[in-house]
A and B are shown apart, each in its own frame.
Chain A
Amino acid sequence: MSTPETTAAPTASPIPRAAAIALGDDALVLSHRLGEWAGHAPVLEEEVALANIALDLLGQARVLLSLAGDEDELAYLREERAFRNLQLVEQPNGDFAHTIVRQLYFSTYQHLLYAELAAGGGPFAPLAAKAVKEVAYHRDHAEQWTLRLGDGTEESHARMLRACEALWRFTGELFQPVEGVEVDGKRMETAWLASVGEILRRATLSVPEGPRSGAWAAGAGRQGLHTESFGRMLAEMQHLHRSHPGASW
């Protein structure tokens, strides 16, 4: 975690626990979804690439959750309603197009977020300074595949359009304020729309026109409200740990 930029000025600010959990849950859940690809990727190089991204995210999750408490207790012993991740990251993998679009939407957001956090010098600055470099690769990977698949064959183009549309309504949530995360959400949103829009256009894909959030006034993932598939994901993830209370692994 220590980098030349951060070791010079160690921060004394207290860690905002809710924020560490929200950002940690994003990384944990998306890492888990990417881990589901192992052995199923369309080409061997992508087995390596998707696992790499999953491992980076898991590393981020472990740092963030450890700032908030015991990483395993937080990952394995919370109920679905206590998770604070974005609904976007819990969306099932779908086909490779869905996985790539989910990654494009999320990595673009995470890159903007970590760049701001790294520059801001707050309690997350050391983590963000390291993570922003990893995330730059994730975003690049998603961008390159968006270009290939969008401007590839008729079939890949159609699959990408469907994925872009289907996941679009989970993108409004990315810019909702998170307690303890000191960033300018409005400015990030503008930058996100510009960046994603430009990539989609270069990929010959149209920017979806539908709403960017659900109509449910109660909110979404940051309020602990998730989509149905998330419960099954957690059931699988937590089952073994919960079957042996108190055991060490």
Chain B
Amino acid sequence: MATAAAQQTASTQAYGAQGAIGDTTAYQSVFDAAVAADERIEPRDWMPDAYRATLVRQIAQHAHSEIIGMQPEANWITRAPSLRRKAILMAKVQDEAGHGLYLYSAAETLGTGRDELLDKLHSGRQKYSSIFNYPTLTWADVGAIGWLVDGAAITNQVPLCRCSYGPYARAMVRICKEESFHQRQGYELLLALSKGTPEQHAMAQDAVDRWWWPSLMMFGPPDDESAHSAQSMAWKIKRHSNDELRQRFVDICVPQAESLGLTLPDPDLRWNEERGHHDFGPIDWTEFREVLKGNGPCNEQRITQRRKAHDEGAWVREAAAAHAAKHIGETGATRA
């Protein structure tokens, strides 16, 4: 947060003036001042309970999205059509596991451990991004996910590099760099297909047709229906509204689609001179809500595979813990 001195002042005010623990007014004002001054809140700083809870919810959902998001792409690792593409895809899926690690660690700085969060994911009490409840049906889907899904994620996530909570903001800097690499790789994959044989071109177009609308839904419900937006904006966890980010993404994608030689599946998509933005057609929010509720094409499959991997790995984690306990204090003892 601000500085050690400011923290000290807050403590003096909170404890000293009242002579009792529990008066959070002074803490709150230091916190508010730090947020207003665009300073970072750090793990040991005082923060409102609701701020902490909001961050844990958001970081956990992001972490879960990274590890669930491995599934649709891992689906193509064993079928990648060239060794170069296979190496790129494997490295990408590995990056996602790495992002999961950074994010679970960021959540841990708020006092919530990975085991607890995984448990909430597995029991359905916490969510992951709905986009991963769509299937990857062809190789071109790997490209469409890179270009559109990672592109949307970056549009959402770049502002998070300036999020008020320090560990999350710093994790996001690294994640965004890697995501932007993935996005360019996806684009390049689609370009190769688009300029390839007619079958490859059709495969690319089909993938873009299927992933376009779900990608637009990734920005969340329209601003007037977004449950958490206003408070998150005030806390500077969130910097732009869902609709602003969605518009920014559409404006970025339109010329990219043209360069790819692919069309975006929206007959209403056109440049609006007056607004200085592209207009686009209505989003099917019924589909969004259905997928969110669990009725997407892959909700059941994704969570079942996640639980299965976790359950089947239980004996491995138990063995590592047992080994560590047996050999505690030994020089050169193996680390769990």
Chain A residues within 8 Å of B, Cβ to Cβ: 28, 32, 35-36, 38-48, 51-52, 54-55, 58-59, 61-62, 65, 71-72, 75-76, 95-96, 144, 147-149, 151-153, 155-156, 159, 236-237, 239-241, 244, 246-249
Please, could you name 30 A-B residue pairs with CB atoms under 8 Å apart, sorted by A?
Answer: A35-B90, A38-B70, A38-B93, A39-B305, A42-B313, A44-B101, A44-B104, A44-B114, A46-B316, A47-B67, A52-B94, A54-B90, A55-B90, A55-B91, A62-B84, A62-B87, A75-B83, A76-B81, A95-B312, A148-B319, A148-B334, A149-B320, A149-B323, A151-B326, A152-B318, A153-B319, A239-B79, A240-B139, A244-B200, A249-B189
**CB atoms of B82 and A237 under 8 A apart:** no
Query: B77 interface residue, CB < 8 Å from A?
Result: yes
Which residues on the A side are within 8 Å of B317 (C-beta)? 42-43
> For the complex, would chain A's binding face be called helix, strand, loop or mixed by DSSP majority?
helix
Chain B interface size range? 35 or more
**CB atoms of A152 and B81 under 8 A apart:** no
For the complex, give the distance between the alpha carbons of A244 and B197 in Å.
9
Near A by CB (< 8 A), chain B positions 61-92 give: 67, 70-71, 74, 77-87, 90-91
User: Which of B71, B82, B86 has the most A CB atoms < 10 Å from its CB?
Assistant: B86
**CB atoms of B334 and A156 under 8 A apart:** no
**CB atoms of A42 and B197 under 8 A apart:** no
**CB atoms of B79 and A237 under 8 A apart:** yes
Chain B residues within 8 Å of A, Cβ to Cβ: 67, 70-71, 74, 77-87, 90-91, 93-94, 97-98, 100-101, 104, 114, 139, 189, 192-193, 196-197, 199-200, 305, 308-310, 312-320, 322-324, 326-327, 334-336
Which residues on the B side are within 8 Å of A35 (C-beta)? 77-78, 86, 90
**CB atoms of B316 and A42 under 8 A apart:** yes
For the complex, give the distance between the alpha carbons of A96 and B317 in Å.
11
A35-B90, A44-B100 given; 10 more Cβ-contact pairs under 8 Å: A39-B71, A41-B309, A41-B313, A45-B101, A47-B67, A54-B90, A55-B94, A149-B323, A151-B326, A240-B80
For the complex, give the distance between the alpha carbons of A39 and B70 in Å.
6
